[in-house]
Structure 1
């Protein structure tokens, strides 16, 4: 291609993942299991080929599709050993773009990759509906300060105050209901992934999806989804290992950070220094839980006006072990009951997805230095055949105060299980819990409208074993 000009510049592309760098430095007493995260490099500082999408005919006017031009640029760069694919300021309307190994997709500040809103813009297989997709790739990077947007509002069939009704592209039958919409950015079976300094906006479905991948760094990423649209999750980490998420801003309707284990185990996940708002769960393990979760650490999070705070939804045979939440400030509130959740700041629910399926175990979960303002209390629910074991609460301060007009008075076991069950509110509800420790826990009830909620603790003695209280305080204030 004689008309194509290239330049070589010095660029640094270094990925450092260090779980201990933030968590262990602040809390040297926190325990870590084997296989802890280590500092790993995507690549050394090196000269890199820069390929401009404009040299391959990309117009960037937001009207004409630039899919072919952007893909040709990526392919050209990849065939020469990789490099930087540069997307200058402009709006680039595309169908699915496929990243390759050793490619940095640099979306400039002022540039937007705009995902198409027609089913023909995406491949036939619904599991590959993404605006940007890397599959079976190594050393891939998305950065540059620009925007990747999904035009999510074009997928709304009916705008509703409580929850939007979304379109379904269920033509072939390989997806159902709300699953039949395109995700925004995906990495499947990848290694050494770096997503940083980029804005991900208005996804039609999940926003950033990491699947069966290893060594992933996500930092300085801002995610904005429509607050009334269901299933527009922020970051879904699925069956992937050695992942660091830090310094991210997530404001979306559905779950903000959602680890899952549908195809394999998930271990060594660290999330730190993030700001979150959602109508669902700020952090939710599950409900997809076919395999184990192990060594997950969440620290220095700010959670604002969310429907749930820190959740674990175990519905399948996988086990949850060694999870730490530390130095977290959160406020949770009621939203319309069509959204799962009832303002629980901390929520663990282990139960069978269906009567014929097995459910795993939840063991050794720690909550350290947690500050809560909430319309509801903590909810811990296991099963007679699957007790929650080894729960620790240390330096937890919870203020219970009403801030909305939603009535409450229920427990929410969804998905599956018992569904919605009428029950009074309480400071801490427990069933089928064993070996729970509470040290320096403060529960404060604020305002006359919380006086009829119930007791600080709500449990049947036969379902709770070995509860230890050290310096527990319960107070009522006007």
Structure 2
């Protein structure tokens, strides 16, 4: 193992023979990524504007308006495209299908409610959305109003730890415990734009992109109940050329979640946003069968989240050229039933089970990161898959405990080793080739975190080629 140290270490730092844990603090420095190309969204002047009221909607939120809404969409599409307008009111609907050239304009003081009955959705579970666009071009949603999935109507038993939800698998419609409808879906679509809209209370995932190209999501908000599982904010599956900016996401499960099920994911930029979640604010995976490459996350504020920045690679896909810059993170412990242990940064690759391949993670850059958290950073490759070429530049990490949940556990879930007992530390590392740390500060605040075993904790046999420059660590009792 080659370790090159240029350190200013606090006297209490111990290099353990077990694992490695670091913690960083930074000076501010501007950073510009050169490997991200923003997609261009084709704009057009809408030739028509059609009100759903003219097609017979009641707008009372009690009677279903599905047929009237779909009639307005079909008429707009037949006329060459334009806007379908929802004037102020309440619109209850089963699944409606968005068509090429059509933008839904849900005006302020208008709310579209998704139905809560199984018969409100198509026979195929893969098409369970309140609004769904398939194989469409030049489509979007805007208007300043709200689309609401009535997620709380799917709660069988309210629980402060994690709500128990309706599962339609009892009808034979699908299998598993995640048989609930998503809110908005764009599948195999191009030139998608979602802006100036409030997406609230999804029963399952909120905004879902599947094999899409050239998507622009901006100036919009997502809200989901904090105790509802699987109500992800934005899931991006196998989609390329995506921009997410100026968004507010407050939800119970992963906020921004790129996945690769059936193809690679390239060129994603997420910036200038605010996130609060009971799971991971940003998480790659865990669905990860294909490549992730060329992603930038910049100028993001993460508050009161169970995890901050996460890579959860489990299925053999490779990850490279990812930048996290200018990010402020606050993490805390929630219930152990949720994946995560309050890590501000969490990077793992390991096989999901004994039938899975192990993917690699390489060329990650963390620059201008500030975090206050109850637990340390966790970086873990595996014996069968590599974690290499990580760089931390200008990072400021503060450790402070303020909840009463137990620590001393490392969370590999899903799969892998599950929850593993391990002494708490600032930065745990294993199975890594190539780590560069520059201008990093670590602060331990309060007597509880001062009792942690090691700021830096690593297995020497599994970590190679480490360079630490201007690394500082201090402890402050309270």
The residue number in structure 2 matching 1:441 is: 440
The residue number in structure 2 matching 1:246 is: 245
Are 1:119 and 2:144 counterparts? no
The residue number in structure 2 matching 1:451 is: 450
Shift of 1:173: 4.6
Shift of 1:39: 5.0
Alignment check: 8 A CA contact 1:288 1:316 kept:
yes
Alignment check: 8 A CA contact 1:429 1:459 kept:
yes
Shift of 1:176: 2.8
- Any idea what the Cα deviations from partners look like across 1:421-441, whole Å, max 9, x if unmatched? 000111110000111000011
Shift of 1:38: 4.3
- Any idea what the Cα deviations from partners look like across 1:179-235, whole Å, max 9, x if unmatched? 200000000000000000000000000000000000000001100000001000000
Alignment check: 8 A CA contact 2:134 2:187 kept:
yes
TM-score, structure 2 normalization: 0.92
Distance in 2 of aligned mates of 1:372 and 1:170: 41
Alignment check: 8 A CA contact 1:178 1:231 kept:
no
Distance in 2 of aligned mates of 1:464 and 1:99: 51
The residue number in structure 1 matching 2:3 is: none
The residue number in structure 2 matching 1:212 is: 211
- Any idea what the Cα deviations from partners look like across 1:71-109, whole Å, max 9, x if unmatched? 000001101111110110000000001000000100000
Counterpart of 2:177 in 1: which secondary structure? helix
Shift of 1:263: 1.1
Distance in 1 of aligned mates of 2:326 and 2:175: 39
Distance in 1 of aligned mates of 2:227 and 2:392: 33
Counterpart of 2:461 in 1: which secondary structure? helix
Distance in 2 of aligned mates of 1:324 and 1:47: 37
Distance in 2 of aligned mates of 1:139 and 1:291: 27
CA RMSD of aligned residues (A): 1.2
Shift of 1:420: 0.5
The residue number in structure 2 matching 1:287 is: 286
- Any idea what the Cα deviations from partners look like across 1:257-276, whole Å, max 9, x if unmatched? 00000011001000001100
Shift of 1:47: 5.1
- Any idea what the Cα deviations from partners look like across 1:344-368, whole Å, max 9, x if unmatched? 0000111111112111100001100
The residue number in structure 1 matching 2:408 is: 409
The residue number in structure 2 matching 1:258 is: 257
The residue number in structure 2 matching 1:477 is: 476
The residue number in structure 2 matching 1:11 is: none
Distance in 2 of aligned mates of 1:114 and 1:284: 28
Counterpart of 1:70 in 2: which secondary structure? helix
The residue number in structure 2 matching 1:235 is: 234
The residue number in structure 2 matching 1:21 is: none
- Any idea what the Cα deviations from partners look like across 1:231-255, whole Å, max 9, x if unmatched? 0000000000000000000000000
Alignment check: 8 A CA contact 2:39 2:243 kept:
no
Shift of 1:26: 5.1
The residue number in structure 2 matching 1:176 is: 175
Aligned ranges 1:56-95 → 2 under 5 Å? 56-95=55-94
Counterpart of 1:114 in 2: which secondary structure? strand
Shift of 1:27: 2.4
Counterpart of 1:255 in 2: which secondary structure? coil
Distance in 1 of aligned mates of 2:363 and 2:176: 36
The residue number in structure 2 matching 1:332 is: 331
Are 1:223 and 2:222 counterparts? yes
Counterpart of 1:429 in 2: which secondary structure? strand
Alignment check: 8 A CA contact 2:41 2:216 kept:
no
Distance in 2 of aligned mates of 1:173 and 1:26: 54
- Any idea what the Cα deviations from partners look like across 1:25-81, whole Å, max 9, x if unmatched? 9524x341xxx424523234x352011100000111000000000000000110111
The residue number in structure 2 matching 1:277 is: 276
Distance in 2 of aligned mates of 1:113 and 1:47: 22
Distance in 2 of aligned mates of 1:413 and 1:286: 13
Counterpart of 1:370 in 2: which secondary structure? strand
Change (3 A) 1:285 1:39: closer
| More relative contact order, 1 or 2 (CA 8 Å, 6+ apart) | 2
Counterpart of 2:299 in 1: which secondary structure? strand
Distance in 1 of aligned mates of 2:303 and 2:284: 19
- Any idea what the Cα deviations from partners look like across 1:158-183, whole Å, max 9, x if unmatched? 10111101110115656333320000
Distance in 2 of aligned mates of 1:39 and 1:467: 36
Are 1:52 and 2:51 counterparts? yes
The residue number in structure 1 matching 2:17 is: none
Aligned length: 449
Counterpart of 2:47 in 1: which secondary structure? strand
Shift of 1:385: 2.4
Q: Which runs of 5+ in 2 are unaligned?
A: 1-28
Distance in 2 of aligned mates of 1:173 and 1:465: 51
The residue number in structure 1 matching 2:5 is: none
